[in-house]
Amino acid sequence: MDIAKLLNYSSVGYKASESPDGYVYKTFLKVRDYEVDAEGIVNNANYLHYLEHTRHEFCNWAGLSFKEMHLSGLDPVLRKVTITYLHPLTLGQWMESRVRIARRGPVFVFLQDIFTLEGEAVVKAEVEVVCLKNGVLSRGHELVDAFKDYFYEQGS
């Protein structure tokens, strides 16, 4: 992908029913110098930052500000992250970070993948999020309403 086009297409979102590939949100990120280790590849912990950034941007795009959620007493928190590293990224390399979202009871499941611009899979992750309402575990009904158009259905 041409970098000039990339900068004009920094992120895009879809309703689940309109997504061409099941992903409801995609954004592009570039590897920065402080994210690589002595081997010249992205340190594994930085992929967690990329995934978090993408989830937060998706929430903002879907109309959910973390600040506003917190001020209303709603706090989404990580329950579990499972990540599979498939291919390293290097300094200055661009990536496309993608999100699908599903639900298992009170748990919101973010199915996240990172690809090189050439389409090679870099990371596959499953991120489980639960909601606290005024400090107490909740079923996250507020998020269900906000995400209703974005839930991924297995097999679709």
Within a domain: 152: no
pLDDT of residue 7: 52
User: Taking residues 146-153, what's their average pLDDT?
Assistant: 84
pLDDT of residue 4: 47
Q: How confident is the model at residue 93 (pLDDT cuts 50, 70, 90)?
A: very high
pLDDT of residue 16: 81
How many domains is the chain partitioned into structurally? 1
CATH of the domain at 70: 3.10.129.10
AA letter at 26:
K
Positions marked active-site: 37
Q: pLDDT digit string (tens) for 3-26?
A: 545 555 577 887 888 888 889 999
Within a domain: 46: yes
Within a domain: 156: no
In the chain, % helix, strand, coil (3-state, to 5) comes to: 30, 40, 30
- CA 121-21-156 angle, to 5 degrees, is 115
pLDDT of residue 156: 44
Boundaries of domain holding 139: 3-14+24-147
pLDDT of residue 123: 98
Q: How far apart are CA 54 and CA 33, in angstroms?
A: 19
Q: How far apart are CA 126 and CA 110, in angstroms?
A: 6
Q: pLDDT digit string (tens) for 106-120?
A: 999 999 999 999 999
Within a domain: 112: yes
Place of tokens 């579990």: 80
